[in-house]
Amino acid sequence: MNILVIGSTGQLGWELQRSLVPLGNITAVDYPDLDLTQADSISHWVRDSRPELIVNAAAYTAVDRAEKETDLVEAVNATAPGQLAEEARALGAVLIHYSTDYVFDGRKGSPYREDDQPSPINAYGRSKLAGERAVQQVGGEYYIFRTSWLYSTRKECFLTKVLRWARTRERVRIAGDQVGSPTWARTLAEATAGAVKLMRERGKSWRENTSGIYHTAGIGAASRYEWARKILALDPHPEEQILTELEEARSVAFITAADRPEYSALDCTRFQETFGLFHTSWEDALKQALSWNNT
């Protein structure tokens, strides 16, 4: 199987390269070599590598900056996925595209299912929803994996920020009224690889019948404050911490350009039942992420 991984240097893309190696020959690419704002660049890489599987792990994820850079966020998150879907369908390839819990407004108050109505409240979420719909409109064999609060130990993210703050500040305030499903990039990459293996084994008709949107995130829910407390408790080097007070605060205490959904945890039952995968709680995954050697 020839596999094209887009966004290879990101949190998820780096892990995907490791997880997908047993399944085929991987072409891994990222910006600026492949520029998702340029149709010619997309066409070149897809047609040159002729993949049987395209995995798009690239996205514009600067949520606050997206409020001003609307043209760029739309090009990367909305237009490019549609073109990738068209290229995949023309080749008879499978497309896996990742989306976000931020397509929801956070007012439901319980984990979101795939059939819940999206209603994004920021530019980033709107662009990701537009990308989903562009892929769906093209059709073919596609899988849209929505995830939530992605993190790794390699790249700048909430986890690395909390660990850094604990070593540089005595007091830290974290929002306690934003709830999601923290997701380790390695767990998501391994689940993706498991799903791909099953897609290949079951064949084209099965893929056509199962194409669609799936929620793939750490099982369970936590507020950012609860997540931060758990990170600090599992810190492999607690002796380096100078933090003496972790304070729970409300989101209104932090001035941000973009609104965030208050409750965006995801229900992953459909993914689990279809692929028999992704049963790891967010707490167990976090423990593994902080204790394993992630080199």
pLDDT score for 292: 72
What is the rounded average pLDDT for all residues in the chain?
Answer: 96
Could you tell me the pTM of the whole model?
A: 0.95
| Per-residue model confidence (pLDDT) at position 201 | 95
The pLDDT, as a whole number, for residue 17 is 95
pLDDT over threshold 90, residue 295: no
The pLDDT of 152-177, averaged and rounded, is 96
Could you read off the pLDDT of 98-143 as tens digits, one per residue? 999 999 999 999 999 999 999 999 999 999 999 999 999 999 999 9
The tens digit of pLDDT for each residue in 231-273 reads: 999 999 999 999 999 999 999 999 999 999 999 999 999 999 9
From 207, 78, 206, 85, select the one nearest 136 (Cα to Cα): 85
Q: Which CATH class is domain 2-155+183-219+265-280?
A: alpha beta
Quick one: average pLDDT of 177-182? Answer: 97
Judge contact between 224 and 174, C-beta under 8 A: yes
Does the pLDDT of residue 153 top 50, yes or no? yes
pLDDT score recorded for residue 7:
97
Q: Count how many residues are written for the chain.
A: 295
Distance, in Å, from the CA atom of 260 to the CA atom of 158, rounded to the nearest integer, reads 15
pLDDT digits (tens, 9 = 90+) for 46-100: 999 999 999 999 999 999 999 999 999 999 999 999 999 999 999 999 999 999 9
pLDDT in tens, 197-240: 999 999 999 999 999 999 999 999 999 999 999 999 999 999 99
Cβ neighbours of residue 43 closer than 8 Å, sequence gap 6 or more:
83, 87
Burial of 242 per CB tally in 10 Å (0-12, 13-18, 19+): exposed
Give residue 26's pLDDT: 97
Contact of 271 with 278, CB cutoff 8 Å: yes
**What is the residue extent of each domain of the chain?**
2-155+183-219+265-280
| Model confidence at 146: pLDDT above 50 | yes
Q: Which residues belong to the active site?
A: 124
**Kind plus residue range of the DSSP H or E element containing 97:** strand 94-100
